[in-house]
Amino acid sequence: MSVFIDKTTKLVVQGITGRDGSFHTEQMREYGTNVVAGVTPGKGGQRFANAVPIYDTVAEAVSDTGANTAVIYVPARFAVDAIYEAADTGVHLVVCITEGVPVLDMTRALLFLAERGTRLIGPNCPGLISPGKAKVGIIPGQICREGRIGVVSRSGTLTYEIIHQLSSHGYGQSTCIGIGGDPLIGTNFIDCLEAFEADPETEAIVMIGEIGGTDEQQAAEYVATHVSKPVVGFIAGQTAPPGRRMGHAGAIISGSSGTAKEKIAAFERAGIEVMKRPADVVALLEKRS
Amino acid sequence: MSVFIDKTTKLVVQGITGRDGSFHTEQMREYGTNVVAGVTPGKGGQRFANAVPIYDTVAEAVSDTGANTAVIYVPARFAVDAIYEAADTGVHLVVCITEGVPVLDMTRALLFLAERGTRLIGPNCPGLISPGKAKVGIIPGQICREGRIGVVSRSGTLTYEIIHQLSSHGYGQSTCIGIGGDPLIGTNFIDCLEAFEADPETEAIVMIGEIGGTDEQQAAEYVATHVSKPVVGFIAGQTAPPGRRMGHAGAIISGSSGTAKEKIAAFERAGIEVMKRPADVVALLEKRS
Amino acid sequence: MNLHEYQARALLKAAGIPVPDGEVATTPDEAEAVAARLGSAVVVKAQVHAGGRGKAGGVKLAANATEARGHAQQILGMRIKGLVVERVLVVPAAKIASESYLGVIVDRASQRPVIMVSPAGGVDIEEVAAKTPEKLFRVAIDPRFGLLPHQAMALAFELYDDLGQVRQAATIMQQLYRVFLDAGGSLAEINPLITTPEGEVLALDAKIVVDDNELARRSSIAALRDVTAEDSSEVEARNAGLSYVNLDGNVGCCVNGAGLAMATMDLVKYYGGEPANFLDIGGSSSPEKVVAALRIITRDRNVKSILFNIFGGITRCDDVANGIVQATGQMKLDRPIVIRLTGTNEDLAIEILRKAGFEALTDMDEAVQQAVKLAQEAA
Amino acid sequence: MNLHEYQARALLKAAGIPVPDGEVATTPDEAEAVAARLGSAVVVKAQVHAGGRGKAGGVKLAANATEARGHAQQILGMRIKGLVVERVLVVPAAKIASESYLGVIVDRASQRPVIMVSPAGGVDIEEVAAKTPEKLFRVAIDPRFGLLPHQAMALAFELYDDLGQVRQAATIMQQLYRVFLDAGGSLAEINPLITTPEGEVLALDAKIVVDDNELARRSSIAALRDVTAEDSSEVEARNAGLSYVNLDGNVGCCVNGAGLAMATMDLVKYYGGEPANFLDIGGSSSPEKVVAALRIITRDRNVKSILFNIFGGITRCDDVANGIVQATGQMKLDRPIVIRLTGTNEDLAIEILRKAGFEALTDMDEAVQQAVKLAQEAA
């Protein structure tokens, strides 16, 4: 088993003919993901890589191919509508890689998704990978290994760093999920913790947070009350100054709220082992198991 | 028993100090309705008729008095917000007497109500009365009698005419509901038919429709498939010309759709006895029982 | 409230929708000048609130300005479905590659705004819906989220293959929905939406109907009302707070409540008469309203008898009685009147009427039968 | 993106919110002229993107135009939290009967816009929230339905007893929410919202923060960006498509990915160093971006060593290596550089770097330790 995606995933790629979309579609197909359709308005009827049928609309793609998951690589100005379009077709999972979606657009889109019970991962995220089963998004497949650690993170390359530490020390992953660096996202830490706790193939969880907001604090409370599996955590941004956006739209200390210090304290209160450095992940996992 | 309102109804009157609101609050109280609060912004702290406390907001009124039903007599330009305000407090029934609510406002408000599971009757309706128990709205109490006929209607005075026929021939009413003459309304014929069918005190149903829309056709289908009690019907507007609004915003034949002829035909197909004149109501009820 | 075509196209244009040039003219001279300015073949179109203008001869092609003048001369002053043409719109004769339909309505069944398109444009859309429903594509808009771009794109793909035209049409849909909302519309329609041989997408004709309940908060839309294009009695009724529709019969009806007013008309017909009008004096009727109602009804020379049918609830029967007495004091009532009153203050009303020499009935059927009989006797 | 007070008040004014008169001045002469025109006691206010202007001496009351000139002389050119004051706003000194707070933010917890009011205005709202939370009233707005009139009224009743003021404040809330939406705000704030002794409700100071992701579709808001009020290196970074924040340390950092960039800074600190900056070169990094990054980092004279930390995923390590080689060909690199690369095309990158005389590491900790040591040795 794995979380959110697996061998039954049938993927439609929104923006399949774009620069990023075509590159990552190749990567996903190479990894073994079942990419059943692509969408680019005006290119309906063509094929991607002589194989994957392209449609003008997601609705046509889903009705023709039975896609159950959508991934979005369209430019920022089309991204929120791509989310609406995917959700309107009834796919159960939408992964939005695109960065730069206005947060006010997300306040509305999240309500639209909630009404339909559609899960969104992202926006502004690297997507997710269930090693050996499927990858949806941009996490490099070669750094991952099949295994029993669930990884959930707000960032991209920092996650790769930690996955790399895990894989090179023999710790494979059940699923790695990049939930995204924006202030408003579709799937948060708690959603992933719940899924990992329920997943029999996940034995321990690595949770990678950063400054901004209070998602990590809420997640810590959730861990304390609902998670029986060992959890190891990391918080990036201990040296970040208040009031400045650190790359991610959501990585900003507002006033005195959202600091790394308070997040680390919340982790510790919840019994989560906190890494001082990404390289600590393996040692802490071994300590907890 | 009765439908939607009864002795447990605790009513808050929105616009209690206005011309219509104050007159009908007196009438409702005289009839025995439990009016627990009124709302007029800026008059919070005062009392209506030295008895009913007035509040600035419906939220305060409901939290203070436990009102479970709201009736709206505010001017048209405030009416849709009055609906939102009442629904936001969790009252289970909102009755909007006010005429003149823009239909585009209603497209949004109906979704707001649906999300909260709040029932709206109206707008642009005379409200409802459960003779001997409670009256919410403007139906004259003196023409009604306690009894076992459920009456549901899109109009006001035509309903009074038919209630008058019923009462003067010894047929009392379980509940009389004026659902309103607007194109978009909160509670339709089917909702009322369902409630009357489930109400053990209702033995037969009188349904009074008019030209415009297809609510009567759908109601007829519902009667054929879901209603075991006798139903007698009337359709006003057989002589109305197409394309002209007959008073009620919803009473208009659009193109060839919404005519009295097709509604009467639908009633007849569904086994509903159709009155040729309002005065036929008693004879047809007697025929059906 | 209906807008004229020229008013609707002005709203479309202001919203960014491509609309051909053109101007309104009220005289043949003006029409000629507009045509000369446009410098091409033109179409001269009657501006009246009536469908079927083309069949009635209200839409004419002119090869040049002189011809346009001639057509305007014919069309101005013409009657179409009883309405006098006061204005014509002069537009360039468009080169048309394809004709589609695009409209937004408030749909009673789904309780939402519905946007509709059809590649079968230029004809009555009801006909398309009835005869070739497979050519009509509809999307119900969730008003909380608006018309979503992908919904517009999907509809546009039903009209065109060319991506450029698809994008143009999708943009026009968004603009039309914006006009619809901003005008407080119950209908906004472009028919036909054309493509030119050059591939441009254009709105060739436009129709907007505004929800009367929106007018109080939209003064700029309310200002578009053209009372010259309406029945003068209906305008007077509206100004007096009455709801009135003129019909062809001979029994004038004055009723409180729209449902009862229709039922009264129907009962007139049932007893062999013909109602002369729909008239609802409304709930809280003052004597002044009754006076206005009587004035409007009696102005119709087809009316041979007058029937009052009042069920007093909020309406007080004595108010109506006083109004009748007042009105008949002010004007010579030259036709018979039958009064039925029941409900609130019925006794008081009957007394007032009796003192003034009127009789009053309490049964609706009896009153209607009497009024019908009186009208028949007078005819 | 932060707007200046004078820009924010212009948006408020355009939306109909009552705002006192006043104008911006860039010289003491202009300030004097504005004060003379206003003809009353005035307040001269520094226009910089920094809180605590008052405490820093950037807000001063002047009894007349001459005094206003003197204050402007002092304030213009002053540094507040490192930012040079280029403009002052001159406004009439208001007569204040009460001060309240009114703001709209995007709330991460409820995932909605939240409108907040407090009768404790004029002070930092975070302080109110922390110390007297019972004085802060919040309503989460459902963005599908907007700020409903009764919600605004209920909040306004928390501020005022007088119905006139309640209605004014409720209207201002609607207008502020409209400004917030139209500007693509993440925050829009009026602090203080005052009442005058005459009972008028006015916005005395305004703050608007715009979501950077909104700027692409809001050219008129984007045009309000004042690059003179920002750190020039940060402006250059933004123009080059980099995300850069200047800090006080001495280890210059160049990283791909925001999370890894923060983790790198933290690791510098962990090993006893101080990061000189946050810098994320982004995902699809071209050699040009690396060149721009190196130029920006080396301009900071506090930087004593430079650390590259690249985890190649989409970012190709060879691109970064090429960028380093290119940049060091264009400029004299006068400070030591430590390069860590791993992931996509790692081997290719190491070869490119070796050929150009650079060493490359693959372990993050090792690289950070080396960079810290080099910076310490140089200091």
Q: Which CATH number goes with the domain that contains D173?
A: 3.30.470.20
Same domain, residue pair C102 and C175 = yes
Q: Looking at the structure, tell me whether residues B21 and B151 fall in a common domain.
A: no
Q: Domain residues for B263?
A: 139-288
A17/A91 same-domain check: yes
Confidence (pLDDT) at B97: 96
CA distance C178 to chain A (A): 18
Task: Give every CB contact of residue C94 below 8 A, 6+ residues apart in sequence.
Answer: C20, C194, C196, C202, C204
Please tell me the distance from the alpha carbon of residue C328 to that of residue C295, in angstroms, as a whole number. 10
Residues of A in Cβ contact (< 8 Å) with D255: 157
Q: Name chain D's partners: 3 or more CB pairs within 8 A.
A: A, B, C
Q: Which of C184, C262, C311 sits opposite B210 (nearest CB)?
A: C262
Tell me how crowded residue C251 is: count the other CB atoms within 10 A of its CB.
30
Distance, in angstroms, between C18 CA and closest chain A CA? 22
Is B57–D148 a contact, with Cβ atoms under 8 angstroms apart? Answer: no
Task: Kindly report the backbone phi and psi dihedral angles of residue D201, in degrees, each rounded to the nearest multiple of 5, phi listed first.
Answer: -105, 125
- How far, in Å, CA of C195 to CA of D314, rounded? 44
Which residue is closest to D237 within chain A, CA to CA?
Answer: A247
Q: Looking at the partner chain, which of C145, C153, C163 has a beta carbon nearest the beta carbon of A57? A: C153
pLDDT, tens digit (0-9, with 9 covering 90-100), for B59-99: 999 999 999 999 999 999 999 999 999 999 999 999 999 99
Instruction: Give the pLDDT of residue B110.
Output: 98
Q: Six-digit token pair at C356?
A: 């003034």
Chain D residues lying within 8 Å of C144, measured CB to CB: 144-145
Chain B contact residues (CB < 8 Å to D): 41-42, 44, 56-59, 78, 81-82, 84-85, 88, 108, 112
How many CB atoms are located within 10 Å of the residue B20 CB?
17
Q: Do both A146 and A244 map to the same domain?
A: yes
Report pLDDT for D25.
Answer: 96
Residues D216 and D336 in one domain: no
Distance, CA of A214 to CA of A266 (rounded, Å): 10
Residue B57 to residue D150, Cβ atoms within 8 A: yes
Regarding whether A262 and A199 lie in a shared domain, the answer is yes
C46 and C180 together in one domain = no
Asked whether residue A144 falls in the same domain as residue A236, the answer is yes
- Between these two residues, C286 and D158, which has the higher pLDDT value? D158
The CA distance from D104 to D180, in Å, is 7
Residue C223: how many other CB atoms lie within 10 Å = 8
Q: Is the pLDDT of residue C126 over 90?
A: no
Same domain? For C74 and C136 the reply is no
Same domain, A72 and A158: no
In a domain, A191, yes or no: yes
A and D: number of Cβ contacts within 8 A:
169
> Are A157 and A68 members of one domain?
no
**D51-60, pLDDT tens digit by residue?**
788 888 999 9
Contacts C151 to A, Cβ<8 Å: 88
pLDDT in tens, D92-133: 998 999 999 999 999 999 999 999 999 998 888 888 888 999
Mean per-residue pLDDT for B42-49?
97
Asked if the structure places residue B223 within a domain, the reply is yes
Residues C280 and C372 in one domain: yes
Q: For A184-207, what is the HEC assignment? A: CCCCCHHHHHHHHHHCCCCCEEEE
Q: How confident is the model at residue B280 (pLDDT cuts 50, 70, 90)?
A: very high
At C135-185, the pLDDT tens digits run 999 999 999 999 999 999 999 999 999 999 999 999 999 999 999 999 999
Q: How far is CA B135 from CA B50, B86, B99, in A?
A: 21, 18, 19
Tokens 């989560």 correspond to: A272
Which of the four pLDDT bands, split at 50, 70 and 90, describes residue D284? low
Cα–Cα distances in Å, from C60 out to C70, C122, C189? 10, 16, 21
pLDDT at D230: 83
- Does B131 map to a domain? no
Asked if C145 is an interface residue toward chain D (Cβ–Cβ < 8 A), one would say: yes
Is the same domain home to C148 and C73? no
What's the mean pLDDT in D276-284? 88
Of C182, C198, C222, which marks where a domain is finished? Answer: C222
User: How far, in whole angstroms, is CA D178 from its chain's centroid?
Assistant: 22
Question: Is C310 domain-assigned?
Answer: yes
- Taking residues B186-191, report their average pLDDT: 98
pLDDT the model gives residue C287: 81
- Cα-atom radius of gyration of chain A, to the nearest Å? 18
User: Side by side, which strands form the sheet with D337-343?
Assistant: D243-246, D277-280, D251-255, D305-312, D337-343
Higher local confidence (pLDDT), D227 or D28: D28
Q: Which residue of C has its CA nearest to A107?
A: C145
Place of tokens 């692409």: D216
Last residue of a domain, one of C38, C71, C92: C92
- Could you please report the per-residue DSSP string of A38-68? EE-TT-TT-EETTTEEEESSHHHHHHHH---
In 3D, which of D186, D190, D182, D230 has the Cα closest to residue D210? Answer: D186
Instruction: Tell me: pLDDT of C20 over 70.
Output: yes
Q: A42 vs C150: CB contact, 8 Å cut-off? A: no
- Nearest Cα of chain D lies from the Cα of C141 at a distance, in angstroms, of 13
Neighbours of A9 (CB within 10 A): 21
Residues D250 and D330 in one domain: yes
D174/D271 same-domain check: no
Chain C interface mutation, best of A81, A83, A107, highest count of C Cβ atoms under 10 Å? A81
B120 beta partners: B94
Q: What is the CATH number of the domain that holds C316?
A: 3.40.50.261
- What is the per-residue pLDDT for C284? 65
Does the active-site annotation cover C244?
Answer: no
Average pLDDT over chain B, rounded to an integer:
96
Question: What is the three-class DSSP state of C45?
Answer: strand
DSSP code for D120: S
C196-232 pLDDT, tens digit each: 999 999 999 999 999 999 999 999 999 999 988 888 8
Q: What is the pLDDT of residue B1?
A: 60
Sheet of C59-62: strands edge to edge?
C23-25, C88-92, C42-46, C59-62
Give me the CATH number covering residue C77.
3.30.1490.20
* Residue A77: C-alpha distances to residues A120, C263, C269, D198 (Å): 18, 56, 62, 47
Looking at residue C229, the DSSP 8-state letter turns out to be G
CATH classification at residue B231: 3.40.50.261
Is the bond into B230 cis (omega within 30 degrees of 0)? no
The reply to whether B129 falls in a domain is: no
**CB of D88 within 8 A of CB of D66?**
no
Is residue A129 domain-resident?
A: no
Q: Is the pLDDT of residue D287 over 90?
A: no
Out of D265, D278, D344, the one facing A140 most closely (by C-beta) is: D344
Is C69 part of any domain?
yes
Chain D interface mutation, best of A23, A152, A157, A244, highest count of D Cβ atoms under 10 Å: A157
Residue C14 located in a structural domain: no
Does residue C13 lie within any of the structural domains? Answer: no
Task: Count CB-CB contacts under 10 A for residue C330.
Answer: 10
A165 and A281 share one domain: yes
The answer to whether residues D104 and D187 touch, using CB atoms and an 8 Å cutoff, is yes
* Pick from D148, D149, D163: CB nearest B42: D163
DSSP per position, B90-126: T-SEEEE------HHHHHHHHHHHHHHT-EEE-SSS-
Domain boundary among D222, D254, D269: D222
Please tell me the pTM assigned to this model: 0.95
The residue annotated as part of the active site, out of D6, D30, D32, D101, is D101
Name the average pLDDT for chain C. 94
- Identify the chains in contact with C, defined as 3+ C-beta pairs within 8 A: A, B, D
Which has more confidence, D227 or A181? Answer: A181
Residues D54 and D167 in one domain: no
Q: Give residue A86's identity as a one-letter amino acid code.
A: A
CATH number at residue A28: 3.40.50.720
Indicate if B82 and B144 belong to the same structural domain.
Answer: no
Residue D79 exposure: Cα atoms within 13 Å on the Cβ side: 5
In angstroms, what CA-CA distances link B54 with A245, B75, C37, D32, D241?
49, 18, 66, 54, 60
Same domain, D161 and D272: no
D175: alpha, beta or left, given left = phi > 0 and alpha = psi -120 to 50?
A: alpha
Interchain contact D148–B (C-beta under 8 A): yes
Q: Is D162 exposed, middle or buried (0-12, 13-18, 19+ CB in 10 A)?
A: middle
Q: What is the domain extent for residue C279? A: 231-378
Average pLDDT over residues C85-108: 95
Q: Is D327 left (phi over 0), alpha (psi -120 to 50) or beta?
A: alpha
φ/ψ (deg, to 5) at B255: 60, -120
- Does the structure show a pLDDT above 90 at C56? no
Determine, yes or no, domain membership for C242: yes
Residue C312 neighbours by CB under 8 Å, 6+ apart:
B140, C256, C320, C341, C342, C343, C344, C345, C346, C349
Is B41 within a domain? yes
Q: Kindly state the percentage of chain B with pLDDT values over 70.
A: 99
Using CA atoms of A43, A44, A46, A50 in order, give the dihedral in degrees to the nearest 10. Answer: 110
| Long-range pairs, A197-200, Cβ under 8 A, ≥24 | A197/A226, A197/A227, A197/A228, A197/A229, A199/A1, A199/A2, A199/A3, A199/A150, A199/A174, A199/A175, A200/A1
Residue C135 burial by Cβ neighbours in a 10 Å radius (0-12, 13-18, 19+): middle
User: Are A80 and A178 in a shared domain?
Assistant: no
What is the pairing mode between strands A273-274 and A204-210? unpaired
Give the whole-angstrom CA distance, residue B83 versus residue B87: 6
Mean pLDDT value of segment C330-350: 91
Q: B70, B91, B121: which is the final residue of a domain?
A: B121
Does the beta carbon of D217 lie under 8 angstroms from any beta carbon of chain C? no
Per-residue model confidence (pLDDT) at position C306 = 97
Q: How many domains does chain D have?
A: 3
The total domain count for chain A is 2
| Tens-digit pLDDT string for chain A (289 aa) | 679 999 999 999 999 999 889 999 999 999 999 999 999 999 999 999 999 999 999 999 999 999 999 999 999 999 999 999 999 999 999 999 999 999 999 999 999 999 999 999 999 999 999 999 999 999 999 999 999 999 999 999 999 999 999 999 999 999 999 999 999 999 999 999 999 999 999 999 999 999 999 999 999 999 999 999 999 999 999 999 998 899 898 888 887 789 999 999 999 999 999 999 999 999 999 987 6
The helix/strand/coil state of D213 is helix
Which SS3 state, helix, strand or coil, does residue D200 take? coil
In this structure, are A34 and A65 located in the same domain? yes
Q: Is residue D11 part of a domain?
A: no
Predicted confidence (pLDDT) per residue in B105-133, tens digit: 999 999 999 999 999 999 999 999 999 99
Give Cα A211 distance to the centre of its chain.
Answer: 18
At B250, the amino acid letter reads G
Q: Does C149 touch chain A (CB under 8 A)?
A: yes
Residue of D nearest to A99 (CA): D213
Q: Which helix (H) or strand (E) holds A173?
A: strand A173-178
Assess whether D209 and D115 both reside in one domain. Answer: yes
Residue A132 belongs to some domain of the structure = no
Q: Is the pLDDT of residue B243 over 90?
A: no
Residue at D235 is within a domain: yes
Do D115 and D161 lie in a common domain? yes
What letter represents residue D85's amino acid?
A: V
pLDDT at D173 over 80: yes
The helix/strand/coil state of D171 is helix
CA C15/CA C167 separation, integer angstroms: 16
Residues A170 and A102 in one domain: no
In chain C, whose CA is at the least distance from the CA of B255? C126
Residue B130 lies in a domain: no
Three-state DSSP string of A250-270: CCCCECCECCHHHHHHHHHHC
